[in-house]
Structure 1
Amino acid sequence: MRFPEALRALNSRNYRLFFTAQMISMTGLWMYRVAIGWLVFRLTDSNSALGLMDFVASLPVFFLSPFAGAVIERLDLRKLVFRTQTGCMCIAFAFAFLTFTDLITYKIILALVLTRGLLDAFEMPARYSLVSYMVDRREDIGNAVALNSTLFNTARMIGPTVGGFVIHAFGEAFCFFSNSFCYLSTLLALKKMRLSRPPIGKTGGRSRPLHDMIDGLHIASDFAPYRYFLLLITATGFFAFPSITLMPAMAKSVLNGTSQTLGFLLMGVAIGALAGSLLMASRKNVARHSWWCTRTCVGFGAAVILFSLSRNIWLSVALAAPVGFCLVTCTIACNTLLQTMTAPESRSRIMALYTLANIGIPPFGSMLAGKFGDLTNTGWALFACGIFCTLFSVYFLRKIDRINGEVTAALKRQGAI
């Protein structure tokens, strides 16, 4: 069967396998995320503990991503994703066992999330880069990225809600067990893929990871579109992503709710995120992605400001939707632009820097916001984050609007438009 235009990437068998497997895996991942946040807040009753956990998990991504991007360009991406996902499955099982037996402590949680962060530093840029090998046509890369996000945010809508009720009924351990078994779907899909060529970015020359890493940094800094898009996502992530990390504190200490309240808040985020994902999946080409990226980054900051001011549960759920919409739309647009502007031999390094900006930097903001939230309250911490995000986003919006000609030229060189 042929899929409609908005789902055109699913016409590729390999991507269809991956997409189907991720339906299961991502739901388990979001159950894990809501469970880990609730477990930490239950054990510590501290905003700072949530921020520190997010910070520790991101340390390997922050320090290793540029180097990882250089290393994985010479590795088989499918095998690498398979091995790192297997490691993540083992960590989820360890969380389940230790929580079920009441052996879990905050220090053990930090050790496990640090170990998972080491895997994420290699798994995330590898998975981002592997998408371009799964689709049969280069012009479908943008649609595949958007569909990945649609799936991610559909799971974000289902997983936290289910997770909130599961935690309430059975405890966090059941969520961790579910997450560990959900990884099996992705591992099976990776095994069954039939790729026309090995998913390896570089095959010639001698392997020089450190030299390649430095070269990748020069590529990103010398080309204005790379530089400004990465800085925009870095600023947005630092100041606005803490709104997601501090959701457990918002649910419990500001709204006086339970784990079910947290599930509803994250469902609100997911509904908006799903709408943003579907919007970007419906775009037939990437010519306007720069406009969407910059404007929704500004909107992200404004949405966090409004969300921080609410003291009513159902109003907060409604205000969480634009937070999710802007978060996902700006990251999809940026991810797609970076992938489609970049030649295959440099893609893993650029996507590793995107991983650093999108995953490695935000926890620094979360830790700072968590500390500020303990000194004042969670609502005021998020309000300050929203103000700074809006100001920085407006600054980079003006910079990027001036170089739209360079963005268009880069897309044309790679045959994206």
Structure 2
Amino acid sequence: MNKKNWLQIPAFRSRNYRLFFAGQGISLIGTWMTQLATVWLVYELTNSPLMLGIVGFTSQIPSFFLAPFGGVFVDRFSRYRTLIGTQMLSMIQSLALAILTFTGMIQIWHIIALSLFQGFVSALDAPARQAFVPELVECREDLANAIAVNSTMINGARLIGPAVGGLLISTIGITYCFLIDGLSYIAVIAGLLAMKVKPWKLSAIDGNPWQQVKEGFVYAFSFPPIRAILLLSTLVSLMGLQNTILVPIFAETILKGGAETLGFLMAASGLGALSGGIYLATRRTIVGIGQLIAIAPAILGVGLIAFSASRFLPLSLFTMLFVGLGTILQIAASNTFLQTIVEENKRGRLMSLYTMSFLGIIPIGNLLGGALANRIGAPNTLIIDGIACIIGSIFFHRELPALKKLVMPIYEQKGIVIVKNVS
């Protein structure tokens, strides 16, 4: 795509966003390679579904407890400098995994400890990254497109990373996945350093951190549309995303494959997510996004149930398309909605609560999924997960008309819509 075509995408009119997109795009491919390599390494070392759940738990549980305070930090300090710091720490974590694996010293406790370290970094990185996007776009009307393009970038990496990772694991070994991921952070840091960022202005926020956290919770949960989005996100993260730590069991035990099979399954999910991201990136308005948020968990739920029943690789790949599609529609559409209506001085705190409802709940779901799979098997676990997602979709859809009426004045105030019909 030449420069002229790139600039036809609204978000790419902003130089800083183009730099951010390029650096993150390279790094996220490495991140997904590492995620695939980590779950495969854990399963090789332990052959335990429960241990997969424990590693998933330790990598993300800090987001549950620390994300609200990360949001307070992000509202008070430079998001730009924060991201440079978190990217450097993430690079150290990946290179440490590479060194331990290369020397043959790697043990399960190393993986748990480094996963916990990355979890602490992510608790600050995730809200900072979400809140930094509005600073990257020069025109306010490009924000929704920037968020959607972000989702496309993330899921493009989800498509490429696992597929490349599966091939690397089967040909030259797990170590190189960790090494490439560690080196890929150089692209992110270089992109950040090349940006021309306005000097950070300290927000006028009263009260100590505890009071600010409380204010964020009150702001989010006293407004029914935000509360409904966060609760639905919590349900999807708790139940719908358990598949990410159970896929190795399907790849090796049920489908009788190896690392390549795992890579293809993850890539199929990434392809579905990429399709959803492209659709969201091409939308010109936020109108109708409520319907997308309502239907997305149902798509995910149906995909999970169909995947759990499949014993044929091509069919499993097809069902994973819907798993990826439903996941990205729910995550990206919810993110776009929240970023659009939030008050600027509470952006970091609201996005930290969204991070908490999304990344912070995933570890609990991982632990629950690993324990259930140990007891009743991975296929039955995903059937339960799928049913839970479909029920959540039904409940949210029933509440949607009342939520629309509350959101309408905000859309009109911001000049997003001038008509009465809005989702």
Corresponding position of 2:420: none
Q: Which moved more, 1:389-398 or 1:95-104?
A: 389-398
The aligned amino acid for 1:182 is S
Please state how far the C-alpha of 1:3 moved relative to its aligned partner. Answer: 4.4
Query: Distance between the aligned counterparts of 1:6 and 1:42, measured in 2?
Result: 46
| Residue 349 (str. 1) matches residue 349 (str. 2) | yes
Q: Which moved more, 1:11-20 or 1:389-398?
A: 389-398
Q: Percent identity?
A: 34
The aligned amino acid for 2:128 is A
Corresponding position of 1:256: 256
Structure 2: 5+ residue runs without aligned partners?
418-423
The aligned amino acid for 2:149 is L
Query: Distance between the aligned counterparts of 1:224 and 1:278, measured in 2?
Result: 29
Query: Distance between the aligned counterparts of 1:365 and 1:14, measured in 2?
Result: 36
Q: Which moved more, 1:21-30 or 1:396-405?
A: 396-405
Structure 1: 5+ residue runs without aligned partners?
none
Q: Which of 38, 43, 52 pairs up with 1:41?
A: 43
Runs of 4+ in 1 over 4 A off after TM superposition: 1-6
Corresponding position of 1:384: 384
User: Secondary structure in 2 aligned to 1:360?
Assistant: coil
Please state how far the C-alpha of 1:19 moved relative to its aligned partner. Answer: 0.6
Corresponding position of 1:293: 293
TM-score when normalising by structure 1: 0.97
Q: Following superposition of structure 1 onto structure 2, how do residues 34-73 of structure 1 map, counting pairs within 5 Å?
A: 34-73=36-75
Query: Distance between the aligned counterparts of 2:190 and 2:104, measured in 1?
Result: 32
Asked whether the equivalents of residues 16 and 195 of structure 2 are also in contact (C-alpha less than 8 Å), the reply is: yes
Q: Following superposition of structure 1 onto structure 2, how do residues 7-156 of structure 1 map, counting pairs within 5 Å?
A: 7-156=9-158
Please state how far the C-alpha of 1:414 moved relative to its aligned partner. Answer: 3.5
Q: Kindly provide the CA deviation profile for residues 184-228 of structure 1, in whole angstroms up to 9, marking residues without a partner as x.
A: 001011111112453x5x522556211110000000111111100
Q: Kindly provide the CA deviation profile for residues 241-271 of structure 1, in whole angstroms up to 9, marking residues without a partner as x.
A: 0112211122112211100000110111011
| Residue 242 (str. 1) matches residue 242 (str. 2) | yes
Query: Distance between the aligned counterparts of 1:349 and 1:414, measured in 2?
Result: 20
Query: Distance between the aligned counterparts of 1:90 and 1:364, measured in 2?
Result: 26
Please state how far the C-alpha of 1:393 moved relative to its aligned partner. Answer: 2.3
User: Secondary structure in 2 aligned to 1:73?
Assistant: helix
| Residue 195 (str. 1) matches residue 193 (str. 2) | no
Query: Distance between the aligned counterparts of 1:406 and 1:270, measured in 2?
Result: 34
Query: Distance between the aligned counterparts of 2:156 and 2:64, measured in 1?
Result: 27
Corresponding position of 1:400: 400
Q: Which moved more, 1:248-257 or 1:234-243?
A: 248-257
Corresponding position of 1:375: 375
Asked whether the equivalents of residues 275 and 325 of structure 1 are also in contact (C-alpha less than 8 Å), the reply is: yes
Corresponding position of 1:183: 185
Asked whether the equivalents of residues 304 and 383 of structure 2 are also in contact (C-alpha less than 8 Å), the reply is: yes
User: Secondary structure in 1 aligned to 2:277?
Assistant: helix
TM-score when normalising by structure 2: 0.95
User: Secondary structure in 1 aligned to 2:359?
Assistant: helix
User: Secondary structure in 2 aligned to 1:233?
Assistant: helix
Q: CA RMSD in A?
A: 1.4
Query: Distance between the aligned counterparts of 1:366 and 1:312, measured in 2?
Result: 25
Query: Distance between the aligned counterparts of 2:240 and 2:108, measured in 1?
Result: 25
Query: Distance between the aligned counterparts of 2:265 and 2:109, measured in 1?
Result: 27
Asked whether the equivalents of residues 287 and 408 of structure 1 are also in contact (C-alpha less than 8 Å), the reply is: no
Asked whether the equivalents of residues 100 and 173 of structure 1 are also in contact (C-alpha less than 8 Å), the reply is: yes
User: Secondary structure in 1 aligned to 2:203?
Assistant: coil
Q: Following superposition of structure 1 onto structure 2, how do residues 311-322 of structure 1 map, counting pairs within 5 Å?
A: 311-322=311-322
Corresponding position of 1:216: 216
Please state how far the C-alpha of 1:320 moved relative to its aligned partner. Answer: 0.3
Please state how far the C-alpha of 1:312 moved relative to its aligned partner. Answer: 0.9
Asked whether the equivalents of residues 270 and 324 of structure 1 are also in contact (C-alpha less than 8 Å), the reply is: yes
Q: Which moved more, 1:376-385 or 1:212-221?
A: 376-385
User: Secondary structure in 1 aligned to 2:76?
Assistant: coil
Query: Distance between the aligned counterparts of 1:147 and 1:47, measured in 2?
Result: 34
Asked whether the equivalents of residues 3 and 11 of structure 1 are also in contact (C-alpha less than 8 Å), the reply is: no
Query: Distance between the aligned counterparts of 1:205 and 1:406, measured in 2?
Result: 26
User: Secondary structure in 2 aligned to 1:103?
Assistant: coil
Query: Distance between the aligned counterparts of 1:113 and 1:336, measured in 2?
Result: 28
The aligned amino acid for 1:98 is L
Query: Distance between the aligned counterparts of 1:56 and 1:252, measured in 2?
Result: 24
Asked whether the equivalents of residues 341 and 416 of structure 1 are also in contact (C-alpha less than 8 Å), the reply is: no
